[in-house]
Amino acid sequence: MKWRVDNVHPVIDGEPAVEATSALVVDGRIAALGAGLSGERVEREVDGAGQWLLPGLIDLNCHLPEPGSDRGGSIESETRAAARGGFTTVCTTPDTSPVNDSSAVTHLIRDVAERNGHTRVLPVGALTRGLEGERLSDMAGLTRAGCVALGNGGHATASSRVLRRCMAYAHTFDIRLFLQPENASLASDGCAHDGLVAARLGLPGIPEVAETTAVNELLMLAEETGANLHIGPLSCARSVTLVRAAKEAGHSVTAEVGIAHLVATEAAIEGYNGTFHSRPPLRTEADRRALLEGVESGVIDAIVSQHRPSDKAAKLAPFPETQPGLSTVESTLSLGLERVAAGELSRGALLRALTSGPARVLGLDAPTIAEDSVADLTLVAPEQHWMPAVGSLYSAGPHLPVMERELPGVVMLTAVDGRIRHEHEGDGS
């Protein structure tokens, strides 16, 4: 397909160009950039006046509930939501059912994504069999089957010894690790930040040290084994400090934060609001500020959706029994732009953390808008607003951090490999 977008401001390394221009897309690549392309005969012309042309957003942590029960959506529904959110690539977590711990499951995910997906889907395999934390998965086999990384899917390993061996084995085959830091014995039966709100509501707490001791352990083991470690989602200020120190010491670690942790705190669970039951838990305002600062300074490389769609029933229970996680992939960019509008984060840092940051984590070339680059493209109208509301969402999970409130930034168009996979309904073209 051959199409063109006119009057757009290409975003390079997080900064929109002042000059508007045109981009011509032919056969999955940007064939030409610049003025004077209007003479070309094309199948589609898109007017991008006032809009940004971004390299497609990349999400490193997005749960696609397939294979699994059909209650929380499918690869089709959730990648459609992701494309609406401006993502062209999502990394899907290994905690599917069955767990993605064999090449058969990896192939299944890739096949379904190929057939029904609306974005690129990069599977993250399980580090241990069944994510049980005891025996190594067929790590090299999973990677060969197409897993871009192996992870713990939020489940801690049984012991530091197992973890050390996982890392050493991964290093042998140069396998990337995506690990969520949580010390299981300190987190125990907790379900909320061990702070002011949990104390009042009588909820078992997950202390900050449940994360920081795990971050420390992961950093030490990665340093010793030479493993390629990506750590997160992080939830507290001290974790940012630890990762910063590791980076300053020259370690090659990278880190991520979930969008919910940049917009909400423990206050969100007041009234036993199970929507905001998350893992890691939402912590204090000081933590939220430190996480934003971590993104700003680049200590945190990527903002992830940590999308966890769950049906209505999954949140209909007493708070500790509700399923953790939010549906965020449709609104991640807008929630970030809202923080930018609030003066809490720079536009450049936000856009880098959704494009070049995650690309670096995956070892990809820096995504850019240039001639001959792959046409994974996201067209955003930053001045327009939209309102997440029940019934108008693409995700099967109705639990968003923000509902019935106007959010800035409308994704007008998402193209993957040159194919238009999402277009804003209404005055989009």
Partner 1 sequence: MPETSRDLQLTADGELRHFLAIEGLDQALLTRILDTADSFIEVGERTIKKVPLLRGRTVVNLFFEPSTRTRSTFELAAKRLSADVLNLDIGTSATSKGESLSDTLLNLRAMASDMFVMRHSQSGAPHFVAQSVTPDVAIINAGDGRHEHPTQAMLDMLTIRQHMKTFSGLRVAIVGDVQHSRVARSQIRALNTLGVDEVRLIAPDTLLPHEPEALGARVFHRMEEGLRNVDVIIMLRLQHERMEGALLPSESEFYRMYGLTREKLAYANPGALVMHPGPINRGVEIESAVADGPQSVILGQVTNGIAVRMAVMSMSMGGQLNERQSATGEGVAST
| Chain residues in the site for partner 1 (CB under 8 A) | 194-205, 207, 270-275, 313, 316-322, 403
User: Do residues 166 and 136 make contact, with C-beta atoms less than 8 angstroms apart?
Assistant: yes
Torsion sign across C-alpha atoms 345, 348, 354, 357: negative
**Cα(249)–Cα(246) distance, integer angstroms:** 5
Q: Compute the least distance from the CB of residue 190 to partner 1, in Å.
A: 11
Q: How far is CA 127 from CA 123, 143, 241, in A?
A: 12, 11, 26
Nearer residue to partner 1 within complex by CB, 271 or 343? 271
Q: Compute the least distance from the CB of residue 398 to partner 1, in Å.
A: 11
Q: Compute the least distance from the CB of residue 195 to partner 1, in Å.
A: 6
Q: Compute the least distance from the CB of residue 103 to partner 1, in Å.
A: 31
Q: What are phi and psi of 4, to 5 degrees?
A: -140, 145
Nearer residue to partner 1 within complex by CB, 55 or 274? 274
Q: What are phi and psi of 136, to 5 degrees?
A: -65, 145
Q: Compute the least distance from the CB of residue 313 to partner 1, in Å.
A: 7
With a CB cutoff of 8 Å and minimum separation 6, the contacts of 229 are 167, 177, 179, 218, 219, 222, 252, 253, 254
Nearer residue to partner 1 within complex by CB, 36 or 318? 318
Q: Compute the least distance from the CB of residue 238 to partner 1, in Å.
A: 15
User: Do residues 405 and 366 make contact, with C-beta atoms less than 8 angstroms apart?
Assistant: no
User: Do residues 230 and 176 make contact, with C-beta atoms less than 8 angstroms apart?
Assistant: yes
| Among 65, 55, 6, 48, residue whose Cα is nearest residue 307 | 65
Q: Which two tokens stand for residue 99?
A: 């767990």
Q: Compute the least distance from the CB of residue 315 to partner 1, in Å.
A: 9
Q: Compute the least distance from the CB of residue 207 to partner 1, in Å.
A: 6
Nearer residue to partner 1 within complex by CB, 48 or 72? 72
Nearer residue to partner 1 within complex by CB, 321 or 383? 321
**Angle subtended at Cα 190 by Cα 211 and Cα 179, rounded to the nearest 5 degrees:** 35
Nearer residue to partner 1 within complex by CB, 104 or 390? 390
Cβ neighbours, 10 Å, residue 424: 18
Q: Compute the least distance from the CB of residue 363 to partner 1, in Å.
A: 40
Nearer residue to partner 1 within complex by CB, 111 or 270? 270
Q: Compute the least distance from the CB of residue 272 to partner 1, in Å.
A: 4
Nearer residue to partner 1 within complex by CB, 313 or 370? 313
Nearer residue to partner 1 within complex by CB, 117 or 274? 274
Nearer residue to partner 1 within complex by CB, 139 or 400? 400
**Cα(362)–Cα(294) distance, integer angstroms:** 19
User: Do residues 201 and 217 make contact, with C-beta atoms less than 8 angstroms apart?
Assistant: no
**Cα(207)–Cα(191) distance, integer angstroms:** 10
Q: Compute the least distance from the CB of residue 212 to partner 1, in Å.
A: 14
Nearer residue to partner 1 within complex by CB, 357 or 398? 398
User: Do residues 50 and 428 make contact, with C-beta atoms less than 8 angstroms apart?
Assistant: no
